[in-house]
Each structure stands twice: as structure tokens, then as C-alpha cells.
Amino acid sequence: MVTLTDIERESYKNSPLHRLDPRIKLLFALAIIIYVVSLPRIHEKNMFRLLAIEVYLMFLVLAAGLDLKYFFLRILAILPFGLGIALIQPFLRPSFIESYTPYPLDLPFGLGITYEGLAFGSTLLAKFLVCITAVVLLSSTTRLRDMVAAADRIGIPREFTLLLSMMVRYLFLFWAVLKRIRIAQQTRLFDIWNKNVPRRWVIEQVGNSMSAIFIRSYEQGERTYISMLCRGYGSGYEKAYYRTKIRTQDVFFLLLSAGCILFIHLYV
């Protein structure tokens, strides 16, 4: 099981990619996502371009010395969200496709598959895979607090970065609270998959756990906000940057990545 501590521990490793400025890595991930999303919905070169970018990202993963088990487990945890959307595309006929070519396959309930739907679904899944690979690579090589500070410094709205900073501070706290609740339930022989227990009672217990976490988060948020006001929050001096300068290797990595994306787009 991959825990939050394992994820954060990966970002404390020492490698050329870890030592890059967080702003450069954030801009790199955004550039990858923007380029991937901007690719045509259906094009014969889409899969080759996406495969080339995925290979480049995996090369960076190996260069960063990340634990491949944790890396792929994190991708597999997110992949079902995009997989479900991509799997239904072959059965749909979106309006941006003018003509369809039916796939010679008889399916029940009057369902039909088209070649265009298969192409769009596979492209959508490949885009999703490349995007989450870039995001997981960013989070695995950048500390959470540095990522929030980098987002603030490149011009992300202050309200958004404030929410992120609060989430980073208390994500581990509420994960520990949830873990204590689960241990308490297990000591009382509570098993959500126990078929001998009425499902209604199991749902009630899960709801009680969620309510307890919600109440604790509300109380913690109120205490935190009052403490922030007591320490001068809102006076304009609450910003605390990790003041680092962009170095030559940071610019070189950004130019190299931009060159790779341009080369893939023009010659692949």
C-alpha cells in the first residue's frame, strides 16, 4: 500500500531532476499537458507522438531514480478515472465526426462500434496516460511546499495557492485521523466486505466515519483561521517564498524539453 509518507519521501531524493527549480518543473508539466490536450482529436500521428512523449517522461523517471513500484502504483490508482471514459467512446458517435465506418462486430442491445470511435477512445486514453505521468513525475520530484511556492511565484492566483498550502499542511494530519478510525474499526471486527452483516448497517458506519472526519476538519479549519488572524494574516506580509534563482541547468532542461516536444511534433 502506497501511503502519503511514501509519496513525499520520493520528493526528498537527490538527483539532477530533484535539484531543478520547482518553477521550471511546474512549467514543464504544464507545457506537456497543454501540448497533449491541444493535439487533434483524431489523427494518424497522435499515437506516435504521445508514445514518444511517454518514452521521454519515462527516461526522466529513470534519471530521477524514482521507485518504479510506487510510481506505477500511483498511475494505476488514477488511470481508472480516464479508462472508464475512454472505453465508452467506441460506442458513441460525437458530432465532430462527419462520417462513421462501422466495425464488423455484432453486439447485443443494438450496440455498434465504429473505427472513428476506437481511434478517438484510444487517443483519449493515451492523452490521459501522458498527462497523469507528467503530474506524477512532478509530484514525485518536487516537495509539496515547494510546489505551492512555485505556483505562487509564477502568478497563480493567491486564493488558489492558499487553498493548496492549507491542503498540504493538513493532508497528512487527516490521513492519520482516518488511519486511527480504521484501526479502531478493525479492533471491533468491523469489515466493510463482511457478507454476514446487513449492508445498511455497514453504510451507516461508513457514513459515521465520514461525518467524524468532516466535523474534525471543520473544527480544525476554524482553529487554524483564528490562529492565522492572531499572527497577522491579511496584513500583506504572510507571503513566504523559498527564494531561489533560476540557474543555467534549469534553463537548459526547459529548452531541452521544449526542443524535444517541437521535434516530436514536427518529425514524428
Per-residue pLDDT of 168-206, as tens digits, reads 777 777 777 888 888 888 888 888 878 888 888 888 888
Is-contact 248 19, C-beta < 8 A? no
The C-alpha cell that represents 121 in the structure block:
477512445
The number of domains in the chain is: 2
Q: What letter represents residue 67's amino acid? A: D
In tens, the pLDDT along 65-79 reads 998 988 998 899 889
Does 55 reside within a domain? Answer: yes
Is residue 253 very low, low, confident or very high in pLDDT (cuts 50, 70, 90)? very high
Same domain, 32 and 123: yes
pLDDT for 82-108, tens place per residue? 888 898 888 887 777 777 888 777 777
**Summary mean pLDDT of the chain:** 85
Domain check: are 127 and 176 in the same one?
A: no
**Confidence grade of residue 234 (pLDDT, cut at 50, 70, 90):** low
Q: Which residue has the cell 499572527?
A: 231
Domain membership of residue 199 (yes or no) is yes
pLDDT digits (tens, 9 = 90+) for 126-175: 999 999 999 999 999 998 888 888 888 888 887 787 777 777 777 777 77
- Give yes or no: residues 124 and 13 share one domain: yes
Q: Based on the fold, state whether residues 16 and 112 are members of the same structural domain.
A: yes
On whether both 38 and 162 belong to a single domain, the answer is no
DSSP 232: T
Q: What is the pLDDT of residue 254?
A: 93
Is residue 237 a part of any domain in this protein?
no
- Residue 157 has a pLDDT of 83
Distance of CA 73 to the CA centre of its chain: 12
Range of the domain at 205: 158-230
Question: How many Å separate Cα 80 from the centre of its chain?
Answer: 13
Is position 150 within any domain? no
Residues 131, 262 within the same domain? yes
